[in-house]
Structure 1
Amino acid sequence: MALQLGSPRESLEEDGALLTPTEPAFLPPHKPTKKPWVLLVVLIFIIVAVVDVGAYLAEPPLTRLFEENLCLKYYREQDPSVIDGDGSIPEQLCKVDVVQQRLATIFGWQDMFSAIPGILLAVPYGTWADKVGRKWIVTASLVGLDLAFVWVMIITYFNSLPLQLTWFSSAFTIIGGGPIVAMAIGVTMISDIVPPEKRTTVFLYLTACVLVAEMLAPIMAARLMESGNWLPLLLSLAIQLMGVVVALFIPETLHLRDLPEPKDSGDQVFELQPTPTTSHFSLRAQLRNFQDAVHFLRSDWTLSLVVLTFLANRLGRQCISLLVRYASKRYNWEIKKAAYLLSFRAATNLVAVTILIPLANFFLLKKLRFPAHWADLWIARGSIAFTTIAFFVMGIAAHPSLLIIGLLIYNMGTGYTAAMRSVSIHVVGGQSSPDIGKLMSTIAIAESIGAMIAGPLLSELFQVGIGLGGAWLGLPFLTSVVVFAFMTVVTNYIDVGDKEPSYVPVHDEDEEEIRTSALDHEELARHRDLP
């Protein structure tokens, strides 16, 4: 994955090992030790699985509580006789257009407000991650998410409070920057330690962890919802708090990457860092961050295209978040029944992520002998084409069986994010590049902007579709077809070149100290021999 000609960031991994001088004769041959990346990756996978189980466990009951809240307020005004003596109301009565449109509004604007901290804080937290370490930023992000969840639970518990107050939960994600920043830093931790030829596979298995959580959690939620909506929510909170505890025990990865010395050249190197004299979170610093982010992207046309695809790809993720409400409204299903679609999608997606896509990657690497970066790019291109077809099928799905077919096709496009993240790492010079943290922060900003736009947009399209009725309910998915068709064209214009960066192993600290001392001793002896 080479950079475009003229880029200020030539591939930093092509120089090989950092210590290249001839070894002294009295030292045994040096055998570089491998990075302890397997164990660390497993620990990161565990925390991702734990946190996502908690998040997906909360989604169906929270959706039902929101719907019930809006439904009760509607029928108190329109027809109080349908409300039971205990204040409950049959779920089937809540599928009326007005209630579903209000529900779409609540979730749509929540998506927008949740994206704002990621846009404003991705770069400062990315900079901090490069200075103080990754694990503390990830831990702070999880704490902020837990506080936001507690706020939503409090507002939902008191039925008299307007649900719009849940939008203020986004303020708590100022702590750590929110879910997109947490994922960006987590990916950076993996990028610090995983060899380039294994990155796409590791990212795919990271996706598999999320899918396992998504597969199990909705089934658990549906069963627990038979005993009430609050039991799965309380269990979800406990699990997410456990994720914070696990995060405290993850080793730091910042020191496990090798950073080559800057090259002595006239090229300008852009750094996404706030001005030294101001706070990371001041207005002046934020303006500087965005200015530097623009320079960072303008410095390389390929990098700009790659980051653009992440912005558009966020629309797809937001569209899938409509799945439960879409199926519930279109097929008149109960929410806990519609939640099983999430488990089905995750289970079949797991097969694609752990078997089909790795097989495709193996075929491209071993049989066709593509360089790793070209294999990644072709997986991304194929994935985005599958996603485009899937949204079209889901958008016209008048029958549940057609929706299921659309989900199966969608699963074939799951490899896009993992493959394109690997491509992006190559574009900035590989895993030893000092721009990795800046890259992930920039991608987080792009995804946050995408989420901020997609949330209200898809909500409005869903409301329009509800108002028009019939096949128009699939309007959000059909709109996504246009976006992803455009992305399909863009990915075919991305050219990552023919260079292949090398993997720079981390050496044992004691061994490195011996080598350095020996080299110093040899240098001193040479100076003594000089006249």
Structure 2
Amino acid sequence: MLEASASHQRDTVDETSLLLPGSSTPSLGGDSTSSKPWILLVTLLAIGVAATDLGSFLAQPPKTRMYESIVCLRYYERADPSKIQSNGVIPEELCKINAVQDTVAMIFGWQDLWDALPGIFLAVPYGVLADKYGRKWILALGLIGAECSLLWIMFVCYIQLPLVLTWLSSAFLIIGGGPLVIVAIMFTMLSDIVPTEKRTIIFVYVAASALVAELIAPVLSSILMKKGVWLPIILGAVIEGLTILIVLFLPETLHLRNSGPRETPGGKEQHPVQMASEYSSKERSGFKAQIQKLLDTLKVLKRDISLTLVILTFLVNRLGRQSGDLLLRYSSKRYHWTIQKAALLLSIRAGLNLVTLLVLVPVLSMIMIQWFSMSPQRTDLLISRGSVIFTTLGFFVIGFSPTPALLVGGLVIYTLGTGFAAAMRSIAVFMVGGQTSHDIARLSATIAILESLGMLLSGPFLSFIFRWGMKLGDAWLGMPFLLSGMLFFLITVITYTISLRDLNAAQTPPSATEDIPSPVHSP
């Protein structure tokens, strides 16, 4: 269940700190090394993040195979019972037919929608509770809900109930709010305790721990699946259960907030988490007040057309990138691979993402700023344009790839665009006036709303497109990736409508805008 939000985690948290305006990657060595109690807590949180992702991605391939085998058995019981072996198992190669894969795609597509609903509707209430009663208890609740969700799926599959009953697993996510709340609380706890000047690098390290888990889990899962599908699923559930115990041993961070303040334009100093909390606490009582707060949040879209287009790219980005969740089933169906073999693609993707996020994007950003003396605005603009072009090309190559080698090549090209979300967030921050703007919290909330909407719509929509492609024939199995490529082509056009004048004008007082030179359009 949590693996469904892993790409969302990377886009919304991992990458955002890599390209913050005017910042380079900080070093951990600037502070006094005498007493740093926060380091132990950060280490425990990083272990918790890694363990959560390890358990989730460990269970993903066998869960997919289990769904496939159950649907396959039901199909051949009606269509051709002679294909059923004496032990009641259908050979996996017989389960790649359209009738089976269509049902599996439908189950997963609607599951994504149901899983997204609790986080969208309960993120604010649980955020308020976390501000009032403490972070760790809300985090523990979220992990308990996720564990119960996985256990329900295991129960349905074990006694071979109709797979549509797995959708009820989403109801358990009401306990704690699901993946979106879990991720938000984890990084809020980090923000509470990590010194401001070290927050960027710590966020990167914690994000890297999740990617390392994603790198290891599919390989381990593939090995364990040789013994059957239940061993990796049970191990994943045990690891997620151990994460709950880790959280219970964490100290509460609500009252350990880092004293490093941030100065607002009015001269008043505020902690970033306090600013977000104050914003979310305004008008938070009553249904009408919640609707009004939502409308107030979306007012940032009226600021100017360029900012509106930039923010809307996050909706399109989320819709497009969710097609990555189809990679396992797409490769298995297209190349007639076993799920066990296709799972290795997830490790390849994680490894490439790790290199891109921790090496390529930071190094490229540093070279452009330090060697070529480019402004942070120009750097982010060029990186966003390059990233979205790579992503677009990657999707088209994956969608059209007739051979596994070409698919891996498309995957490499696709991951070169991983820095897009970070660059666009940085550009959006510039366009509302920079890090000291009063609109930062509203901007973040608007982006979160649009990304959540993208997650909500993408599951059933991409599932429908995948099923449609199967009906058209093997050559069109990559339809979800081709559609994502077209969506990212639209984003490419949007990035080329943004000029440095837009970014400079956003941070220049109205009286000074007359002095801005003519627009500079980066190639």
TM bin, normalised by shorter chain, reads 0.7 to 0.9
The whole-number CA distance in structure 2 between the counterparts of 1:299 and 1:175 is: 37
The whole-number CA distance in structure 1 between the counterparts of 2:155 and 2:313 is: 37
Aligned residue number for residue 156 of structure 1: 157
The yes-or-no answer on 1:121 pairing with 2:122 is yes
The whole-number CA distance in structure 1 between the counterparts of 2:176 and 2:440 is: 18
Aligned residue number for residue 460 of structure 1: 464
- Single out whichever of 36-45 and 121-130 deviates more from structure 2: 36-45
Picking from 349, 352, 358, the partner of 1:348 is: 352
The whole-number CA distance in structure 1 between the counterparts of 2:251 and 2:380 is: 28
The whole-number CA distance in structure 1 between the counterparts of 2:505 and 2:194 is: 21
1:377-433 deviation line (CA, Å, top 9, x unaligned)? 443332222111100110110010100000111111122234444555666676777
Aligned residue number for residue 7 of structure 1: none
Aligned residue number for residue 511 of structure 1: none
The whole-number CA distance in structure 2 between the counterparts of 1:295 and 1:84 is: 61
SS at match of 1:497: helix
Q: TM-score under structure 1 normalisation?
A: 0.77
Q: Specify the structure having the higher radius of gyration (Cα).
A: 1
Aligned residue number for residue 78 of structure 1: 79
Aligned residue number for residue 506 of structure 1: none
The whole-number CA distance in structure 2 between the counterparts of 1:194 and 1:496 is: 30
Aligned residue number for residue 339 of structure 2: 335
Residues 238, 424 of structure 1: alpha-carbon distance in 2 compared, 3 angstrom cutoff: farther
Aligned residue number for residue 275 of structure 1: 283
- Single out whichever of 38-47 and 237-246 deviates more from structure 2: 38-47
Aligned residue number for residue 497 of structure 1: 504
Aligned CA RMSD, in angstroms, stands at: 3.5
Residues 133, 415 of structure 1: alpha-carbon distance in 2 compared, 3 angstrom cutoff: farther
Aligned residue number for residue 515 of structure 2: none
Cα shift at 1:456 = 0.9
The whole-number CA distance in structure 1 between the counterparts of 2:494 and 2:187 is: 24
2:126 and 2:138 in contact (8 A); partners too: yes
Q: Amino acid of the residue matched to residue 275 of structure 1?
A: E
Cα shift at 1:443 = 3.2
The yes-or-no answer on 1:213 pairing with 2:213 is yes
Gaps spanning 5+ residues in structure 2: where? Answer: 1-20, 23-31, 269-275, 508-523
SS at match of 2:227: coil
Cα shift at 1:114 = 1.3
1:200 and 1:422 in contact (8 A); partners too: no
Cα shift at 1:126 = 3.9
The whole-number CA distance in structure 2 between the counterparts of 1:313 and 1:34 is: 42
Cα shift at 1:38 = 6.2
The whole-number CA distance in structure 1 between the counterparts of 2:97 and 2:171 is: 32
Aligned residue number for residue 478 of structure 1: 482
SS at match of 1:88: coil
2:388 and 2:488 in contact (8 A); partners too: yes
Residues 192, 111 of structure 1: alpha-carbon distance in 2 compared, 3 angstrom cutoff: same
Highest RCO, 1 vs 2 (Cα 8 Å, sep ≥ 6):
1
Cα shift at 1:342 = 0.9
Residues 43, 441 of structure 1: alpha-carbon distance in 2 compared, 3 angstrom cutoff: farther
Aligned residue number for residue 323 of structure 1: 327
Aligned residue number for residue 237 of structure 2: 237
The yes-or-no answer on 1:405 pairing with 2:409 is yes
The whole-number CA distance in structure 2 between the counterparts of 1:429 and 1:181 is: 28
Aligned residue number for residue 392 of structure 1: 396
Residues 119, 483 of structure 1: alpha-carbon distance in 2 compared, 3 angstrom cutoff: same
Residues 150, 57 of structure 1: alpha-carbon distance in 2 compared, 3 angstrom cutoff: same
Cα shift at 1:244 = 2.4
1:208-236 deviation line (CA, Å, top 9, x unaligned)? 32321121101111111111111111110
2:192 and 2:253 in contact (8 A); partners too: no
SS at match of 1:455: helix
Residues 48, 154 of structure 1: alpha-carbon distance in 2 compared, 3 angstrom cutoff: same
1:192 and 1:431 in contact (8 A); partners too: no
SS at match of 2:176: coil
The yes-or-no answer on 1:255 pairing with 2:263 is no
The whole-number CA distance in structure 1 between the counterparts of 2:409 and 2:329 is: 18
Cα shift at 1:447 = 1.9
Residues 419, 141 of structure 1: alpha-carbon distance in 2 compared, 3 angstrom cutoff: farther
1:103-150 deviation line (CA, Å, top 9, x unaligned)? 000011111111222222233334445555544443333222222112
1:235-290 deviation line (CA, Å, top 9, x unaligned)? 1011112222333416526722525578499xxx9944463543xxxx44542342
The whole-number CA distance in structure 1 between the counterparts of 2:426 and 2:369 is: 14
1:109 and 1:456 in contact (8 A); partners too: yes
Cα shift at 1:162 = 1.2
Aligned residue number for residue 26 of structure 2: none
Residues 415, 135 of structure 1: alpha-carbon distance in 2 compared, 3 angstrom cutoff: farther
Aligned residue number for residue 99 of structure 1: 100
- Single out whichever of 380-389 and 105-114 deviates more from structure 2: 380-389
- Identify the structure with the greater helix proportion: 2
- Aligned pair count reads 464
Cα shift at 1:167 = 1.2
Cα shift at 1:341 = 0.9
- Single out whichever of 198-207 and 326-335 deviates more from structure 2: 198-207
Aligned residue number for residue 505 of structure 1: none
The whole-number CA distance in structure 2 between the counterparts of 1:369 and 1:187 is: 33
1:204 and 1:418 in contact (8 A); partners too: no
Q: TM-score under structure 2 normalisation?
A: 0.78
